[in-house]
Structure 1
Amino acid sequence: MISDRKLEHLLLCTHSDVEYHKKTGFKDVELVHKALPEINKEEIDLSTSLLGKKMDAPIIITAITGGHPSSIEVNQKLAQAAGNLNIGMGLGSQRAAVENPELTSTYTVAREAAPDALLIGNIGAPQMEQALEASQMMDLDAMAIHLNPLQEAIQPEGDVDSRGYLENIKKTTEEMKIPVIAKETGAGISGNDAKLLENVGVKAIDVAGSGGTSWAAVETYRSPDKDMGELYWDWGIPTAASTVEVSQSVQIPIISSGGIRNGLEAVKALALGADAVGMALPVLKTSYLGEGALEKFFQKFMDQIKVAMFLVGASNLKQLQKTDLVIQGKTREWLTERGYNTKIYARRSSL
């Protein structure tokens, strides 16, 4: 049953080692320190707007759960934090509730707990015919179509016929009354694919690069044959490289997610061109630590963001995207070989 699989995924992510061994690539990104910041750290403004929705910080709790009775409490906690802090939140795949309406409350609880927050629905690329019904489940600000070929290929019950996805995404963007986001689930999106998605009407892209939760790892625990999942555990485009590829390829908003674990990494992602950053696994684990834990987690995260912004002299997000940074190591090697310009970031503040 889908509902049982949702619970299994939730438990595995919470209690097992499911993260990439190969990291995000953000260690190869060095922000250029400014000895004369000429700003007041206490006046740094993190507010932004994404898909027409104002947010107090460029942070999204990316798709985590829904579809099993035990996920009601998790989504309620996450949504309360999102609402209180005025940040965004993504739901887990709504397929379970489309096919079994008794599970609808495991998703709608999020809107009830956060009536004004940016709330993003979710349906898988193999189930795109359910997108319209999923979008009508509650008041959503956008619908994410999640792309998970790696998970489908490793999953014992995976759907491995991906023919027609792009055409179906195009049809979905045309029939939906809310913006459609394309998101990966941890293996990244290339600049090539991002351009194709923009051309068929997608209004934002969540790169969800490699470096965070590996769905090959999650499925390794579920599969009787461990070899395939272990072989592809680290498959994907590292988040830093994916963020650059997509930002240099499209004009639509970009969410950078996949292994971002602190405010410094978030600032690097934003400086590389992301409009917001997303996190899932650390937020899920924090949600089990009791009342107030999530808000403390995000307040610390935002304080870390402000320190990095202060040190590069950026008083807002627009200024941050004009600050200098240097891309080194394997990330520069990847991007150079792929034909992306890594030098444009190094002295852009003087342009």
Structure 2
Amino acid sequence: MAEQGINKRKTEHIRLCLTDQVEGVNKSTGLEGISFIHNALPEINFNDINIETTFLNKAIKAPFLVSSMTGGSELATEINHNLAIAAEQRGWVIALGSTRALLEGDKHQDSFLIRKQAPSVPLIANLGAVQLNYGYGTEQAQKIVDMTEADALYLHLNTLQEVIQDEGDLNFDTLLPKIEELCKVLSVPVGVKEVGFGIDGTVAKKLHDVGVSFIDVAGAGGTSWSQVEKLRSKDPLRKRAAEAFNNWGIPTKDCIVSVRSELNNVPLVASGGMKTGLDAAKAITIGADVIGFARSLLQAATESAEAVIEVMEQIEFELKITMFGIGAKDLGELKNTKRVTIMGKSLLDERD
């Protein structure tokens, strides 16, 4: 039987991200403006480089997160199970796609129930923040957490996606008090993420002030969900309007810098256009704690867990090569390295 409703939409999202041009036009992460200064004498053993860290009070083997992608369809079930198996083996955090479909029907619930495949790594469930204005509250959010056995809940902010989506929910009015109530009541930490247009420091501080525990900037430079929804839309008005927003959003680099200028200690996830371990190293150097990868893993996830593991291993290797290249033996030294140039300005003589 063909997929219908929300399940059909999830399948369409996956197929478009796999096959079509869904990145913003002439939009980059901004990370190309950061470069490292090679250290010819690093004085460390490559095999001693340590990329382990913690997130949500759990140890992880690498500072990486499988970003929210999908759930609620047959294809999503295979993808999420492969991602979960790989995340468990490599010690990455894993986040689910929007779990609204988990409560709205019985079809493909197993696409969200991946704790068996990933028993020990941090697992983050996910719900659109706008759903707090459409009948969802603390009871439904807690049910999602309980069903998925999640360690935390993402609330995602996706205004541009919703307004281009034919079926979009557009009432984002007065969400902050509802987010605050959820943070007070829910049994696990609440994080907030964008979906590819970015969160700046001012918004991040508002969210943190009402109890949000961690921020995922999900900046511009990768998949543009207004582009994805334009490709799905049957509405000529929406399709034409989406063209004006090909270049919309805050680059991921600018998001990281902006959030860190307002919040020194909040756990910060950098996602949005991340493709390599070198990208990850750059983001960590300017303030990120954990780096999220999505579309970089998607094709492999349609094939097998082993294929995902291969991609993950490459990303980890690239991060370690970067650290070796500047002489940083752990993530603390990477965060505080002087061997970096930002927009042509060297920090070699500027950091204490």
Same fold, TM exceeding 0.5? Answer: yes
1:30 is displaced (CA, Å) by 1.7
Aligned residue for 1:276?
Answer: 290
Please point out which of 247, 251, 256 is paired with 1:238: 251
State whether residues 261 and 282 of structure 1, in contact with CA within 8 Å, keep that contact through their aligned partners in structure 2.
yes
Aligned residue for 1:63?
Answer: 68
**2-side partners of 1:204 and 1:349: how far apart?**
29
Please point out which of 73, 77, 91 is paired with 1:72: 77
Matching residue's letter, 2:240? D
- Equivalent residues, number: 336
Matching residue's letter, 1:307? I
- Secondary structure at the aligned position of 2:254 is classed as helix
Aligned residue for 2:104?
Answer: 99
Aligned residue for 1:247?
Answer: 260
State whether residues 322 and 348 of structure 1, in contact with CA within 8 Å, keep that contact through their aligned partners in structure 2.
no
Bigger Cα displacement from structure 2, 197-206 vs 228-237: 228-237
**2-side partners of 1:244 and 1:74: how far apart?**
33
**1-side partners of 2:244 and 2:141: how far apart?**
33
Matching residue's letter, 1:56? K
Matching residue's letter, 2:266? I
Aligned residue for 2:210?
Answer: 200
1:349 is displaced (CA, Å) by 7.6
- Is structure 2 residue 18 aligned with structure 1 residue 14? yes
1:291 is displaced (CA, Å) by 5.2
Per the normalisation by structure 2, the TM-score is: 0.92
1:230 is displaced (CA, Å) by 1.6
**2-side partners of 1:348 and 1:47: how far apart?**
29
Aligned residue for 2:145?
Answer: 135
State whether residues 255 and 275 of structure 1, in contact with CA within 8 Å, keep that contact through their aligned partners in structure 2.
yes
**2-side partners of 1:319 and 1:248: how far apart?**
20
State whether residues 323 and 348 of structure 1, in contact with CA within 8 Å, keep that contact through their aligned partners in structure 2.
no
**2-side partners of 1:90 and 1:231: how far apart?**
31
The gaps in structure 2 that reach 5 residues or longer are: none
The gaps in structure 1 that reach 5 residues or longer are: 330-342
Bigger Cα displacement from structure 2, 194-203 vs 132-141: 132-141
**1-side partners of 2:84 and 2:304: how far apart?**
15
**2-side partners of 1:32 and 1:182: how far apart?**
34
Kindly, what percent of the aligned residue pairs are identical?
39
State whether residues 83 and 115 of structure 1, in contact with CA within 8 Å, keep that contact through their aligned partners in structure 2.
yes
Shift in alpha-carbon separation, 1:348–1:75, aligned structure 2, 3 A: farther
State whether residues 208 and 258 of structure 1, in contact with CA within 8 Å, keep that contact through their aligned partners in structure 2.
yes
1:72 is displaced (CA, Å) by 1.1
Shift in alpha-carbon separation, 1:350–1:222, aligned structure 2, 3 A: closer
Aligned residue for 1:327?
Answer: 342
Aligned residue for 1:338?
Answer: none
**2-side partners of 1:3 and 1:131: how far apart?**
20
Shift in alpha-carbon separation, 1:236–1:39, aligned structure 2, 3 A: same
- Secondary structure at the aligned position of 2:262 is classed as coil
State whether residues 77 and 108 of structure 2, in contact with CA within 8 Å, keep that contact through their aligned partners in structure 1.
no
State whether residues 157 and 193 of structure 2, in contact with CA within 8 Å, keep that contact through their aligned partners in structure 1.
yes
- Secondary structure at the aligned position of 2:115 is classed as helix
State whether residues 198 and 220 of structure 2, in contact with CA within 8 Å, keep that contact through their aligned partners in structure 1.
yes
Matching residue's letter, 2:93? G
1:348 is displaced (CA, Å) by 7.4
Matching residue's letter, 1:169? I
1:223 is displaced (CA, Å) by 1.5
**2-side partners of 1:50 and 1:309: how far apart?**
21
- Is structure 2 residue 188 aligned with structure 1 residue 178? yes
- Secondary structure at the aligned position of 1:137 is classed as helix
1:33 is displaced (CA, Å) by 2.5
**2-side partners of 1:222 and 1:200: how far apart?**
35
